[in-house]
Structure 1
Amino acid sequence: MADILMLLASGAEGHAEPGVLGLDSYQWVALAMSVLIAVFIWKKVPGIITGGLDAKIAAIRSALDEAKTLRAEAEALRAEYVAKIASAEKDAEAMLAGAREEADAILAKAEADSEVMVARRQKMAEDKIAAAERAAIAEVKAKAVTAAAAASRKLIAERHDGAADKKLADEVIAWL
């Protein structure tokens, strides 16, 4: 007890490190780490970790390749539909021009027919001439209306869709 009092009086603090089997605590920690590393190497843990990472990398690469393929397909479809739209617009313009030419030809033919008819009927009485003129003009108008209605029906059927309906309805509502 006197030894302890002397140590306390001298101001020196003394404590003992725990030790087992002649090894200090830092030596036990080093030994435990060595055993842990040996077990990791023995069980091939780094290989398992790198194998899992390689599998994840391969899955990501596969997903990226699939995304590139899908993007290329989408761009091809987009280009195809742009070409189809352009072709449809050209076809519609060609049909409109054809309908106009046909209407002009019908009108020219009708005018020529009416001139021939008027020249033949000039010899008849004035009341018959007036009746013949009205009949010829009515026939020309009917043919022109029929041709224009057919061309309009065809053009409207080809160029008028749901979006055009909505736009037309919006314009009518705005006008009101």
Structure 2
Amino acid sequence: MNLIFEHGIWSFANAEIWVGIGLILFFGILVAAGVPKIAAKALDAKAAKIQADLDEATRLRAEAEALLVQIRKEKAEAEAQAAEMMAQAEADARRLEVETKAKLEETLARRQKMAETRIAQAEAQATTEVKAAAADLAAKTAEQILTARIASGAKDPLLDSAIAQIGDRLN
């Protein structure tokens, strides 16, 4: 059965009534002292602090995301710049290679021409020296023949015509 309708439950001799009255008085004193307002203010302050922390965290996250976007953009720009520099370096290397080959070929051609000129000069000098040696030898031989001929007193027509032709051939 229901306790509220029992006999003697509402009597002041019953201890449960006094506990209920004390509880109601306690809550009344708390309300009169403003404890619910203080608790509400404390909870509101705590909620405001939590909201401020959440707002700060949101702001920091937004800044971090913006910074991440900026860093990614700078990274992309740096990679593009590095790729451009590599391409430029490769182009410069190819250009230098072509220039170096051209200079090397030019130098080799110039040295070959100088060598050919020296060889031609050496050949001309050798030819001149051989002609001079041949002329000296011919002159000595002619001198010996003439000396022998003068000493013997005989004339040889073949020898006379050969001696006459030596001067024409040496020049």
TM class, shorter-length: 0.5 to 0.7
Cα deviation for residue 101 of structure 1 reads: 0.9
Residue in structure 1 matched with residue 81 of structure 2 by the alignment: 91
Residue 119 (1) aligns with residue 109 (2): yes
Could you list the per-position Cα deviations for residues 22-49 of structure 1 after superposition, in whole angstroms to 9, with x for gaps in the alignment? 8322442343233223211210111111
Identity value in percent: 38
Letter in 1 for 2:37: G
Residue in structure 2 matched with residue 24 of structure 1 by the alignment: 13
What's the C-alpha RMSD, in Å, of the aligned pairs? Answer: 2.4
Residue correspondences, number: 108
Between 32-41 and 48-57, the greater mean CA deviation after superposition: 32-41
Q: Distance in 1 between matches of 2:76 and 2:102?
A: 39
Q: Distance in 2 between matches of 1:94 and 1:34?
A: 84
Letter in 2 for 1:50: A
Q: Give runs of aligned pairs for residues 23-172 of structure 1, distance below 5 A.
A: 23-25=12-14, 26-125=16-115
Letter in 1 for 2:101: E
Letter in 2 for 1:60: I
Query: Higher relative CO (CA 8 A, sep ≥ 6), structure 1 or 2?
Result: 1
TM-score by length of 2: 0.55
Letter in 1 for 2:89: A
Q: Distance in 2 between matches of 1:29 and 1:64?
A: 45
Q: Distance in 2 between matches of 1:103 and 1:34?
A: 96
Letter in 2 for 1:23: F
Letter in 1 for 2:12: L
Partner SS for 2:114: coil
Runs of 4 or more consecutive aligned structure 1 residues displaced over 2 Å after TM superposition:
22-31, 114-126
Cα deviation for residue 55 of structure 1 reads: 1.1
Which has the larger Rg? 2
Residue in structure 2 matched with residue 168 of structure 1 by the alignment: none
Partner SS for 1:123: helix
Query: Structure 1: which 5+ runs fail to align?
Result: 1-16, 129-176
Cα deviation for residue 119 of structure 1 reads: 3.0
TM-score by length of 1: 0.53
